[in-house]
Chains A and B, each alone.
Chain A
Amino acid sequence: MKKVITGDHAVAIGAKLCRVEVVPAFPITPQTLIIEHIADFVSDGDLDAKFLTMESEHSVMSAAAGASAAGARVFTATSSQGLAFMHEMLYATAPLRLPVVMANASRTLGGPPGIWCEYNDSMGARDSGWLQLYVEDNQEALDMVIQSFRIAEDKRVLLPVMPCLDGFVLTHTVEPVDIPEQEEVDSFLLPYEPDIILDPKRPAMIGTFMPSEYIMELRRQTAGAFESAKEVIRQINSEFAQKFGRDYGGLIDTYMMEDAHTALITMGTVTSTSREVVDELRRKGEKVGLIKLRFFRPFPSNELKKAVSHISALGVFDRSISYHGGGPVYNEVRSALYGMTMPVINHLAGIGGRDVTKEQIMKMFELTQKAGKGEKVNDISWHNTRGETN
């Protein structure tokens, strides 16, 4: 069934289709619509879940971890300052291997406060042990909530997953979304059946004090789960594609890369706009391609290496800054491509929610092409930034 809905609504429907059992919630723009829709589902009797209104995001994630440890399928959503406030508890959820799914409506983490899309909120959580993915449209937002639960609850993974959708650009934008039937989702996502839960009849210790004799092995184990997650993500993507007819490519997606000379790596909604830019440049005969970085954690180093093995220059889009120069994606990409000799340059744009236009994306390709021809360009370009000349 097709419906014209916001990204937030799509995420809420995704959670409902997953038959989530506990939803601790605290509102924050631009996530609010997600939990409002879920509250409606619960009060209307369309979703049999415990909806908990918490006093803060820190408590939201505490309740999420507790409910998950008790064996419930847990969903929540947050954004920006809310994500920052629950930061401590993110670190409690992941290493305890509690498969919570939490949507993050990407938003500038202030100060100064802003409400529009920037990735500095979720990038701050990149080493918390959560899987992170970024979607480009409302359909993918809905579909990835469903896939997130499959990935999170897979016994080879057992890690929390954070699907990120661009604040306002998706959260408050309506577009057609094909809503899967409940029966289809039920056959794709079976009930969550953990091995160990908090149950008075069978006592368990979850998250108790551990000295240095154990924590290092636990970290190593979690790192191993991140490695395993890569194959799980690919498998679940294929299975989803077969069942629902939508193939997202797995950890990355590529567009017009087969014969490309120059490529741009993007995330989120900028990918969507970039597809049209690639089409326009292709019509002019320019051999450009696009790589959509879908998962930032685990980071798809091997996929990227393979995707760019034949090109002569690579541009990397970043929607947040790491204050040693470029953005976090740029640094991960360069690290992944260590040993390859092509120029890799960074394009900072859309920070603070500034609109990323086709002209800016054109400029990203133009600068990357120049670098590929050996012309001198900046390693890091701030696009559409007053006072900067690229």
Chain B
Amino acid sequence: MAAQTLAEAAVSEGNYAVAFPYFGAERRGAPVLAFTRIDSKKIFSKTQVYAPDCVVVLDDSLLDTIDVVAGLKPKGMAIINSREKPEDIDLGKIIDTATVNATSIALEILKAPITNTAILGAFAKATGIIKIESLEESIKRKFGEKLGAKVGERNALAAWTAYERTITGKSRGVKKLEARKQWLPTHQEIPVGGCLIEGKTDAGLIGPGSFIENKVSGWATYRPLRDKAKCTMCLLCWFYCPEGTIVRISDRGDLMTNYDYCKGCGVCANECPVDAIKMVRARI
């Protein structure tokens, strides 16, 4: 939505723009990619962007696992949703960087950790590629059409707030980021028909059970806290957890949440009939 909204705003200023996503089969909250190209003339290129002028990171937990600025042009800019100042962010190289705590803004204004409109405000402020007024119109139109005028206005306010709170500076360039290892077999190497049994590669585990390595707690904005005194052990949370992170400890007749795999979706809290589960901020 952010990439599309940016494209719409750019077009409203008389430009040509394209925006498109790339994602797998994950649910909301999983890392995804989206691209926007803006030009004064028609854009014919229908390929992904590998050397961007600007990279926007909506979740700074990605900075620990992905070299987000790998393809960034030398004079490019990084815009990061973070509570840190640019100079406290280590991107492995010194580059123009802007930060804003879009999560807090989103929670404050939208009452949900949906940061895509707020981060657009930071983009307008930091790059000057687009006017905040154009973004405001575009957000109101796009979100308003789908979710009602009030939602549109609140999202526009989130963008404006981020615009005002954005800090620009330079990132640090200390840490050595290695490209994330990925299992990329040749057609001779890939198991016949893509059928996998438990296996180990240089890039980690593959096949059944390999997701044990895929700790997703970094995606979580909230995490569940259960009040044992209120809990009646009805097990609805255990039943409804889409990730199976709630484990029954049978000998003690108790439950335990494995936070490594909890995405903070809040289904457990929603289903709990006695309000024993509260969602609390996992990080700021």
Contact = CB atoms under 8 A, between A and B. Distances in A.
Interface of A: 95-98, 158, 195-196, 202-211, 213-214, 217-218, 220-221, 224
Given A209-B24, A211-B24, A196 B195 contact: yes
A236 B244 CA distance: 50
A206 B253 CA distance: 36
Interface in B85-141: none
B194 A96 contact: yes
> Most A CB atoms within 10 A — which of B190, B192, B208?
B192
Ranked 9 nearest A-B pairs via Cβ:
A97-B193, A203-B208, A220-B187, A217-B187, A205-B196, A96-B193, A221-B187, A206-B195, A196-B195
Interface string B184-224: 11111011111111100000000111000000000000000
B209 A97 contact: no
Counting contact residues on chain B (CB < 8 A from A), the size range is: 20 to 34
B47 to A, nearest CB: 12
Contacts of B198: 203
A158 B192 contact: yes
Nearest to B197: A204
Contacts of B197: 196, 202-205
A45 to B, nearest CB: 34
7 contacts: A95-B193, A205-B195, A205-B196, A214-B185, A217-B187, A221-B190, A224-B187
B191 A196 contact: yes
B24 A218 contact: no
A209 B198 CA distance: 16
Nearest to A212: B22
Contacts of B284: none
Contact of A214 (B188, B194, B207, B208): B194
A214 B190 contact: yes
A163 B68 CA distance: 52
Nearest to A206: B195
Contacts of A220: 187
B232 interface: no
B207 A204 contact: yes
> Most A CB atoms within 10 A — which of B187, B193, B198?
B193
B45 interface: no
Contacts of B274: none
Contacts of A209: 24-25
B187 A97 contact: no
B182 interface: yes
Nearest to B206: A205
A202 B191 CA distance: 16
Nearest to A198: B195
B192 A221 contact: yes
Contacts of A202: 197
Nearest to A202: B197
A263 B246 CA distance: 72
A33 B207 CA distance: 42
Given A95-B193, A196-B195, A203-B198, 13 more contacts: A96-B193, A96-B195, A195-B192, A203-B209, A204-B196, A204-B207, A206-B195, A207-B195, A208-B196, A209-B24, A214-B185, A221-B188, A221-B190
Nearest to B198: A203
A48 B191 CA distance: 32
A97 B192 contact: yes
Nearest to A221: B187
Nearest to A94: B193
Nearest to A159: B193
A62 to B, nearest CB: 16
B208 A218 contact: no
A210 B194 contact: yes
Contacts of B196: 204-205, 208
B146 to A, nearest CB: 28
Nearest to B185: A217
A218 B189 CA distance: 10
A77 to B, nearest CB: 23
A205 B207 contact: yes
Contact of B194 (A195, A203, A218, A224): A218
B271 to A, nearest CB: 27
B202 to A, nearest CB: 15
B182 to A, nearest CB: 7
Contacts of B192: 97, 158, 195-196, 221
Contacts of A210: 194
Nearest to A222: B193
> Most B CB atoms within 10 A — which of A205, A208, A209?
A205
Contacts of A96: 193-195
Contacts of A195: 192
Interface string B166-198: 000000000000000010111110111111111
Contacts of A207: 194-195
Nearest to B26: A209
Contacts of A214: 185, 190, 194
> Most A CB atoms within 10 A — which of B25, B182, B185, B194?
B194
Interface in B204-255: 207-209
Contacts of A218: 187, 190, 193-194
A49 to B, nearest CB: 24
A158 B208 contact: no
A210 B185 CA distance: 13
B212 to A, nearest CB: 13
